[in-house]
Chain A
Amino acid sequence: MNKALTPRPQMPMGALPAPFHERIAAENFQHSWMNWNGYASPGVLDTAEFEYFAIRNQSTLFDISPMCKFRIKGPDAEAVMNRMVTRDVRKQKPGRVSYVIWCDEDGNVVDDGTLFRRSEDEFLLFCQEPQLLWIKDIAWGFDVEVTEVTHDLAGFAFQGPTTAATLRDLKIKEIETMRPFDIRDIKIAGKKVMISRTGFTGDLGYELVMAPKDALSVWDAVYAAGQLRGVRIIGYEALEMARIEAGFLLPRVDFISSQTNLRVNRARNPFEIGLGWLVTFDKPHYNGKRALQRLAGVAPKRKLVAIEISKDKAAHHALVYHRKTREVGFVTSALWSATTKRNIAYAWLEVPFGQAVKDDLWVEIYLQREIEWQRRMERVMIVERPFFVHPRRTVTPPLNF
């Protein structure tokens, strides 16, 4: 057979193959690829809905290798991390993960991420935006080594109700004692794996990180073990649906990093985003602390809120009105949530709307039906985040499904 004529999966121009590319490409019937941090990342492999239901009912593999990853190691590692993020890192024990945000000097959010404490003096930070220079600026004058390990670590999210049963089949005893946000060092297919009980779906799930050279062996072992429990490889679209339900926010979609905004009034602080619960003042100085203390004392001008919308049409990019006339905000992420049977979204609303004034709010939804556009005004209810979280997410030991 002429090798040059063999059909090859399409990829975005110039994107790098991620460590699991061979396996994902083989199943990517849509040839749908996105560029995520320079890597080819699947948008959807088969059908977004099937992949989404696999997250909620079975188990799923999603390549998270393109995430930005950093190692912070040295005697001052704890001091540097504590100086960077708004939570108290001194309370985070080795072997634990925490969800963190960090702010600039004005108290605006730079990025969010997951902070893995590997030992007393070593952390791994996973996040969306390139942060090497930021971390190095934070660490200036401290005895610590900051290295970017984005390309040195491969990883995938293994999420869904049947994940624990699959890992049990693989004889991973450690999962019996792992509580949410715990980290363990295990072996799968004889390869070293860092496993954490974390994820982006609001459900039972794990994230597995390993050396790129071991990536395929680990993936293959998990994929093979999960066959009878419905394991599927998924793309970004399905994950996006699950993350909206689970109440997670996405930089560049729901808010903009203060490192990337061009217009000065676009940066957002944690109190506006609804992440005030991640901000503590009961620790020494950290970046933006003085500004955050000022901001904590004043009412924010706008807030990101969770809303539920009447009927079933997702309110993508919709404007929000008060009394159907006055424009008071806009929707960032929207979804008809098949699991909760609710029409959900996140919206930025000007204060007092969504706070003191919760009645008579409407979204204007545009629908295209065979070329023709229709406009619908639907009622908005202010609700709590998350829209979906399952009790099995936290049960330890995890249950078999």
Chain B
Amino acid sequence: MSETFDAIVIGAGHNGLVAAARLAKEGKKVVVLEAAAEVGGLLGGADPVAAMPFGINPKIASGLGLARHGLRYGAPMKTLSFGGGERVEIDGSVARGVAPEMATNYAELHRKLTRYSGALAKMLTKAPPRFRDGGLGDMLSMAQLGLSIRGLGKTDMRDMLRIILSNVWDLCEDEIGDGPLAAALAMDATLGGAMGPRSPGTVLTLLYRMASTGSGGAGQRSTPISGAAAVVSALTKAAEASGAAIRTSSPVARILVDNSDRAVGVALEDGTEFRAPLILSNATPRRTLLDLLGPQHLNAEDVARLRHMATNGMVARIDLDLAELPEGLSEADLGHRIVVAQDMRRIERALNAAKYGELPTEPAVEFTGRKTDAGWRLAALAQFAPCNLKGGWTKAKKDKLAKATTKAMEAVLPGIGGKITGWDVRSPADLEATYGLTGGHWHHGELRIDQMLMMRPFAGAAQYRMPVAGLYLCGAGAHPGGDISGLPGWNAAGQAIKDGGAK
């Protein structure tokens, strides 16, 4: 016997929950099947992998009434960048702790990038257009992007098109000069990907990140009051309030396809079957299509595209326990994003090692923190830590990375090393094992120009619809991709509702 629904959502990550909530709000009978014992994916647990999420997109927050379900944001997070000298404090377009000339130039650069990211932002809240066989709507949506860029005015348009495919290194060198301020921008442009500041396309990823932000304004992370858990709990409540059922410890083993080439349901590992005309998967593109659906339902070209998707995760999540805070770091600071990278050069060097499957001697780090019973716990992200590390992610390698990380922190926050009482490293390989995250990649696949917009997750499979009718991708592998915006889930649900799940 199998239970029947209007829609099945595979995975209760934030995108899965957003999709389920939107579908349920539209009157669909929805079940969310989550493999883990708790919901939230990378946002779940006391020390979530995504410790400093961007805000859920305001359109989604209001559409799902998340405020009613307890999601409230505090003031936007500032960025504190430690480079050994005076600490640099960045609050939107205002930078303190740098030379007055650099602060002026930075303000100018930030305002410019904000305008450009605004032109890009229009593309994020809707399905990307199709190039081939596209309808009128697709052409209009393409035209709209063109118009919004054109709408910047001739000078800005030319400048945006000039820099958009270049690299953040050149941009910062040209506009503000290297140092902790540039390093903080470069961290934003590269974190989560296998790109260094000098990689082409890092201006695009920076603009993308600035465009996908929530209530705090361009490029600023907003912390929900009571932490990341509030996002998960508000989304869960919103979904359940509209009637969606969420079942944890229900790992999906395969997606069922009928003789007419339609996805019609899923089977759990224990054999339980669920049926629905709409299946939305929050899993990665590769896991969804190659593991759950299976290559027998795909053309060889699509299988090859999936196999070749760039999905090598590059970020390790490190929890550091401190007995007490070092001098120069206050309790108030821990509410913000703290960047440890003295300059762009060091970030680039950290990538050099990772490119060849090695650990960097001086990782680039960002962290935030919270008070615990025993002292302090810092939630750090260290890059670049390749999933495909030579020799594998042994305990010795993790210790080596933790030591290199504390050493890098010690260099700019003297005394912090001696106060560390313990650490826990979650490598990209761990994320893959724990969350089924292909390559341990946050964004389910690199955010690169060849894997964005109508090319996300791969050419021919954009617009959330997968090759088998009735199957949709609603996770970060779909447009517009990673960071905690909820947009892939929102857009995918919109597409599924539009298609109607015709039987």
Contact = CB atoms under 8 A, between A and B. Distances in A.
Interface of A: 79, 83, 104-105, 134, 137-138, 140-142, 284-285, 287-290
Interface in B269-316: 290, 294-304, 307
B64 to A, nearest CB: 34
B35 to A, nearest CB: 21
A285 B295 CA distance: 10
Given A105-B460, A285-B261, 18 more contacts: A79-B296, A104-B301, A105-B300, A105-B301, A134-B300, A137-B303, A137-B304, A138-B300, A140-B303, A140-B304, A141-B290, A141-B294, A142-B295, A142-B296, A285-B297, A287-B299, A287-B301, A290-B299
A83 B297 CA distance: 9
A288 B302 CA distance: 11
A83 B296 contact: yes
B300 A140 contact: yes
B467 interface: yes
26 contacts: A79-B296, A83-B296, A105-B299, A105-B302, A134-B300, A137-B301, A137-B303, A137-B304, A138-B300, A140-B295, A140-B300, A141-B290, A141-B294, A141-B295, A141-B296, A141-B303, A142-B295, A142-B296, A285-B261, A285-B296, A287-B299, A287-B300, A287-B301, A289-B261, A290-B299, A290-B467
A324 B290 CA distance: 55
A105 B303 CA distance: 11
Nearest to B307: A140
Nearest to A294: B133
A223 to B, nearest CB: 42
A96 to B, nearest CB: 24
Interface in B446-480: 460, 467
A51 to B, nearest CB: 40
A55 B467 CA distance: 48
Contacts of B304: 137, 140
Interface in B375-425: none
Contacts of B294: 141
B300 A137 contact: yes
A239 B442 CA distance: 60
Interface in B487-503: none
B222 to A, nearest CB: 42
A79 B299 CA distance: 14
Nearest to B291: A141
Contacts of A288: 299
Nearest to A80: B296
A118 to B, nearest CB: 23
Contacts of A140: 295, 300, 303-304, 307
Contacts of A141: 290, 294-296, 303
A140 B300 CA distance: 8
A265 to B, nearest CB: 13
Contacts of A142: 295-296
Nearest to B257: A285
A290 B300 contact: no
B302 to A, nearest CB: 7
Interface in B290-345: 290, 294-304, 307
B134 to A, nearest CB: 16
A104 B299 CA distance: 8
B296 to A, nearest CB: 6
Contacts of B297: 285
Interface of B: 261, 290, 294-304, 307, 460, 467
A290 B133 CA distance: 15
Nearest to B468: A285
Contacts of B460: 105
Task: Identify whether the interface residues of A are mostly helix, strand, loop, or mixed.
Answer: loop
Nearest to A142: B295
A74 B300 CA distance: 19
A284 B297 CA distance: 8
Contacts of A79: 296
A285 B302 CA distance: 13
B187 to A, nearest CB: 37
Nearest to A79: B296
A287 B303 CA distance: 11
A285 B303 CA distance: 14
A103 to B, nearest CB: 9
B46 to A, nearest CB: 38
A138 B298 CA distance: 9
Given A142-B295, A284-B296, A285-B297, A290 B303 contact: no
Residue from the set A285, A288, A290 with the largest chain B CB neighbour count within 10 Å: A285
Contacts of A83: 296
Contacts of B299: 104-105, 287-288, 290
B51 to A, nearest CB: 36
Nearest to B304: A137
A137 B298 CA distance: 11
Given A140-B295, A284-B296, A290 B261 contact: yes
A142 B296 CA distance: 9
Contacts of B298: 285
Q: Which 8 A-B pairs have the closest CB atoms?
A: A141-B295, A105-B299, A137-B300, A105-B301, A138-B300, A287-B299, A285-B297, A137-B304
Contacts of A105: 299-302, 460
A104 B304 CA distance: 13
A297 to B, nearest CB: 15
A284 B259 CA distance: 7
Contacts of B303: 137, 140-141
B458 to A, nearest CB: 12
Nearest to A281: B261
Nearest to B261: A285
Contacts of B300: 105, 134, 137-138, 140, 287
B91 to A, nearest CB: 50
B5 to A, nearest CB: 25
A105 to B, nearest CB: 4
Nearest to B460: A105
A366 B11 CA distance: 69
B309 to A, nearest CB: 14
A140 B301 CA distance: 11
B166 to A, nearest CB: 30
A104 to B, nearest CB: 7
B301 to A, nearest CB: 5
A290 B302 CA distance: 13
A342 to B, nearest CB: 41
Contacts of A134: 300
A144 B252 CA distance: 27
Residue from the set A138, A142, A288 with the largest chain B CB neighbour count within 10 Å: A138
Nearest to A76: B296
A288 B300 CA distance: 9
A137 B301 CA distance: 8
A155 B303 CA distance: 34
A138 B296 CA distance: 9
Contacts of B296: 79, 83, 141-142, 284-285
A263 B467 CA distance: 26
Nearest to A286: B299
B259 to A, nearest CB: 8
A284 B296 CA distance: 9
Nearest to B298: A285
Contacts of A290: 261, 299, 467
Nearest to B133: A294
A104 B467 CA distance: 14
Nearest to A83: B296
Contacts of B467: 290
Nearest to B259: A284
Contacts of B307: 140
A287 B136 CA distance: 29
A290 B300 CA distance: 13
